């Protein structure tokens, strides 16, 4: 019985990672000023499920935190960045 319970919990934890919030590190080319940062922030803030957004102009990095159980695909992220007028260099997930 203990082994069965352990198996269920382990399976839930391993498959449940999509239930947790996600942090995306999006490297963007073309951002050079505060207006650029505001444009990116505005686009991501319109997306349901985005909890927090931070733009680092020096690093050309946009950090996006999603709400629990929300997962943005790479294609969605690229489209958001593109609609703001910039290009996605890379996307990392934490």
Tokens 């352990």 locate to: 6
Q: How many domains does the chain have?
A: 1
Over the stretch 30-83, which tens digit does the pLDDT of each residue have? 999 999 999 999 999 999 999 999 999 999 999 999 999 999 999 999 999 999
From residue 49, give the alpha-carbon distance in Å to each of 44, 54, 72. 9, 15, 9
Q: Is it the case that residue 13 has pLDDT exceeding 70?
A: no
Domain range enclosing 86:
19-93
Is residue 32 one of the residues assigned to a domain? yes
From residue 90, give the alpha-carbon distance in Å to each of 9, 21, 60, 74, 84. 34, 20, 11, 9, 16
From residue 26, give the alpha-carbon distance in Å to each of 47, 71, 80. 15, 14, 11
- Written as six digits, the tokens of 68 are 């629990």
Is residue 3 one of the residues assigned to a domain? no
CATH number for the domain that contains residue 59: 3.30.70.100
Assessment of whether the complete model's pTM goes beyond 0.85: no
| Of 2 and 29, more confident | 29
Is residue 74 one of the residues assigned to a domain? yes
């Amino acid at each position: 019985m203990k082994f069965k319970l352990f198996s269920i919990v382990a399976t839930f934890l391993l498959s449940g990672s999509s239930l947790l919030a996600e942090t995306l590190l999006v490297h963007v080319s073309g951002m050079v000023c505060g207006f650029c940062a505001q444009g990116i922030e505005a686009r991501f803030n319109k997306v349901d499920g985005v909890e927090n957004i931070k733009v680092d102009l020096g690093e050309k990095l946009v950090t996006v935190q999603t709400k629990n159980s929300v997962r943005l695909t790479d294609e969605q992220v690229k489209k958001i960045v593109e609609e703001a007028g910039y290009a996605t260099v890379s996307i990392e997930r934490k």
